[in-house]
Amino acid sequence: MKKYIYLDHAATTAVLPEAAALACQVMTEQFGNPSSVHKMGIEASGIVETARRHVAAILNAEPSEITFTSCGTEATNTAIFGACRRRGQGKHIITTAIEHAATLNTVHKLEQEGFEVTYLQPDADGHISVSDLREAIRPDTVLLTCMLANNEVGTVLPVKEFGKILKKKAPKALFHIDAVQGLARLPIKPKLWNADFISVSGHKIGAPKGIGALYIKKGTRIAPLMYGGGQERGMRPGTEAVPNIAAFGEACRVRLEQMDENYAKVQALCDRLTAGIAARFSWAKYNGKHDIPHVVNVSFPGCKSEVLLRILEMHDVYVSSGSACSKGHRSHVLEALHLPPAVIDGSIRVSFSRDNTEADVDALCQALLHAKQTLKG
């Protein structure tokens, strides 16, 4: 019997049994260095390439377009720095005000180097306007970088329209998409989106922490972040983390096969949660439109989220108060939505996976009711 209820899957996920078993096998039995020319090295190299094919499949890409990294943050840094430091290009970057810290802190660094950054602002629902992007593009725009799905409020950005407009108005500009929260939740379509780069992370979909990947469109040339032995076609030197890579590939394989089924299940859980909250907390406020049902951000104005989290934890229910990568800081995403401080400070994020059940949702609603009674008392 499960001793806890984990509803923080936007922060990280448990490793899938299939992925864990494969990683353990590789660590203990097929542990050769992929660069070695003997049989065990060749076997390890084959494991890496099999995983590359699985990652490429879920990204609708060619295996040669996939570069393994240590995480989504490294993939994003590689894309942004690589795109902006090309010789003879412009010095203008476009992003949004609701990006993950991996993007925002990277473009802040480039601002210090003399780049100019335009931050597109969301509307009250967390959506970014296509017309705002159109107006922001300039002759010297070198990069558009944005997320596919927001990690705090679940809104989905119109990346298809973004890519079309960017390539029409600034053909030499590159387009990077942070798809960390969208992977295995939404179909990824780099060609349709005119994407040059797509960042993804393993631990959000059932692979171990410490593995990510970057889609680099065939023919796109950028400099690597690091230099060394030339692994990953020179884009990411260092001995490959074969167990993690194998596990990531296996997680992609499993998640791709089950994506439609998982989405329908999570949608039902999301609907149950919203109904449960409506029946118990008429004053609760939802933040953003949660276009993907996996992420629901809801506020209980007048209640501090930190207090709510501690009371829920007493009932073995685990949610978050925002991005796990912005611990201790007020949500910049909710601030960008221009929400009142009481709404921001009383917000919690509930994020589902296929492993959650209706009983989990009911337990969360009951624990929230106990929290309400405790705070009133």
Active site residue 365: no
Q: What is the DSSP letter of 231?
A: T
The position carrying tokens 């992925």 is 19
Structure token pair of residue 204: 């959000």
- Kindly give the pairing relationship between strand 347-351 and strand 141-147: unpaired
Query: In this structure, are residues 341 and 304 in contact, taking their beta carbons and an 8 Å threshold?
Result: no
Q: Which has the closest alpha carbon to 31: 19, 15, 47, 20?
A: 47
Which alpha helices (DSSP H) does the chain contain, by range? 17-28, 39-58, 72-84, 101-112, 130-136, 159-169, 190-193, 242-280, 305-314, 332-336, 341-345, 358-376
Q: How many CB atoms lie within 10 A of CB 348?
A: 25
Distant-in-sequence, close-in-space partners of 348: CB < 8 Å, separation ≥ 6 = 297, 298, 299, 300, 305, 308, 309, 319, 320, 321
Q: Which has the closest alpha carbon to 318: 308, 309, 331?
A: 309
Q: Which amino acid is at 22?
A: L
Spot the catalytic one: 71, 303, 325, 365: 325
Residue 362, Cβ density class (10 Å: 0-12 exposed, 13-18 middle, ≥19 buried)? middle
Q: Could you list the active site residues? A: 325
